[in-house]
Amino acid sequence: MPLKDPLHDDQVAVLRWIADGCPPGVWEGHGYKLNARALESRRLVKVSRPKGGWTAQLLPAGQHYLDHDDYPPGHWGDRPERGRNIAQAKGLTATGEPATKPPRKRSTSPPRRTTPDGLTPTRQLLQDVVVAGGVLERDTRDDKTNYGSLVGTINRRKMAPDGQHLAMYSGATYRQTVFRLVAVTDWQSASPKELLESSRISRWHPVVASLRTQGWLDFVTNDQRRRAYVLLHCLAQEAEARGYQIDEVTKLPGTDYYTRRQQPWGLFVLSSGDFRCPVDIKQLNDRVPHVPTDRELAEAKQWSWKRIPPYDHVVSDRLALVTLNSPGYPSEKSWPDTASVPLDEKLGDVLAAFECWAVADEDQRERRRVEEDKQARQREREDEAASAAYVEDAFGKALTAHMEQWELANRLRHFVAALRRRSIDLPEGDARDAALEWVKWCERFVEETVDPLQKPIRRPEVDPPAASDVAEFRRRLGFSKTWW
């Protein structure tokens, strides 16, 4: 939906929740954060992340919307440039009248590919994400669709509703892909264009000021060094205005080979919660045709293996920001100056990409936490089953031992009865008295010690199982192997 459209019920509910001071225990999951970011893009609330947390504050425009169910007068009046661009994209003049267009030439390109619903693949993917509530999980095991190209087209053409971006990242498994709508706020600090045109900056961002003091951009030529510092200043200042943390990268002293290899990556680090994104800047080279020298021509004529390089690389006036995203497998992303779009106009895209990476990292951490909790609960149930099997096995062994003692008692009774008969047959005297005394002890021993039926009948006491006992019965029950 366009930004000027009325809020839907879920967004109004989140707006009232923020007006009440964001009481805990109201929402489940992270869907409310998506609505809060959409409200921030409409300048109704301000979302911040102090020290990795998450808070939202109601702005006067948001209170006006709650009171009057509409935006304040003139709320969209400070966006003439954006409105003019949208009107031009729709083929309208600034007054809203249809613009005259030259007749279009007949195209000989093949017809546009559409889905069974009549939508293009990009619009179909976007519709699927919106219908899924802003988060879509899809198994791409046998799917040959180039989703990276579709997501890039959606973000480049700003097709997502409410000025959002579409983030794509890996899910719980390698074949599972997650698509998520991420809100992108407007530029909140001084624009890079104004700062680049100004003669001086009264107060540099502390991290950039430290970089200037230490001279970490001495590799950039003098004519582009100030611009590089201004771009880093604008990026750090805007990221801090959006609630992100800026940390300077501590460089190691020394310029030898091993010190350079151990240097941490980047000039400073953008942080959102547990997600960290190093940022660096570099000056690009241009490739120009090589003009061979007389010596090179002579050497190439003398030796057939001698090759003259076709190009030379010379330092240009183009800069490039380089970021390192870390959800899943880290990869470098370059944001260079181009002939059509300068780097100062891409800083918003850098922060939009960072927001997508931060959301992806947060989602992946939450998925890992849920999966670890699930595995822990499963492991606990398996351990309980293994402990119960251990107790049952101990009861069975005790029962078997009692049965063997009972059988032994019966055999001993027969034997002691034979001893008594033999002792009675002996002639009276010391030998007969000693034999009868022994028989009497044997009978008492069998009744009091050996026969289990002469003892209280109760369930035997079993000691708690040791770790090795639990591991043994986990193996017997067919559970996963565990290393202790």
Position 9 confidence tier, pLDDT thresholds 50, 70, 90: confident
- The answer, yes or no, to whether residue 320 has pLDDT greater than 90, is yes
Rounded to an integer, what distance in angstroms lies between the CA atom of residue 326 and that of residue 335? 17
The predicted-structure confidence for 16-59, as pLDDT tens digits, reads as follows 889 988 888 887 766 687 778 778 777 788 887 665 567 888 88
Instruction: State the average pLDDT over residues 366-375.
Output: 88
Residues near 383 by beta carbon (within 8 Å), at least 6 away in sequence: 470, 474
- The answer, yes or no, to whether residue 319 has pLDDT greater than 90, is yes
Q: Is the dihedral of CA 152, 158, 162, 164 positive or negative?
A: positive
- The answer, yes or no, to whether residue 191 has pLDDT greater than 60, is yes
> Helices 9-19 and 31-41 sit at what angle, rounded to 10 degrees?
90
Q: 3-state class of 414 per DSSP?
A: helix
The predicted-structure confidence for 449-474, as pLDDT tens digits, reads as follows 999 998 899 999 999 999 999 999 99
- The answer, yes or no, to whether residue 207 has pLDDT greater than 80, is yes
Which strand (E) or helix (H) includes residue 109?
none
The predicted-structure confidence for 212-263, as pLDDT tens digits, reads as follows 998 889 889 999 999 999 999 999 999 998 888 999 888 777 667 776 677 7
Long-range contacts of 376-380 (CB under 8 A, 24+ apart): none
More confident of the two residues 445 and 27:
445
- Name the percent of the chain lying above pLDDT 70: 85
The predicted-structure confidence for 97-132, as pLDDT tens digits, reads as follows 555 555 554 545 455 555 666 678 888 898 888 888
- The answer, yes or no, to whether residue 79 has pLDDT greater than 60, is no
Highest mean pLDDT among 24-28, 41-45, 183-187, 411-415: 411-415
Instruction: State the average pLDDT over residues 316-338.
Output: 81
Rounded to an integer, what distance in angstroms lies between the CA atom of residue 327 and that of residue 362? 9
- Name the percent of the chain lying above pLDDT 90: 32
User: What is the pLDDT of the chain when averaged over all its residues?
Assistant: 82
Instruction: State the average pLDDT over residues 423-434.
Output: 91
Least confident of 37-46, 87-96, 207-216, 367-376: 87-96
Q: ∠ CA(289), CA(290), CA(291), 5° rounding?
A: 120
Distance of alpha carbon 264 from the chain centroid: 22
Instruction: State the average pLDDT over residues 169-179.
Output: 75
Rounded to an integer, what distance in angstroms lies between the CA atom of residue 126 and that of residue 135? 11
Query: pTM of the predicted model, to two decimals?
Result: 0.63
- The answer, yes or no, to whether residue 325 has pLDDT greater than 60, is yes
Instruction: State the average pLDDT over residues 141-161.
Output: 84
User: How many CB atoms neighbour CB 420 within 10 A?
Assistant: 16
Q: List the structure tokens of 126.
A: 């976007």
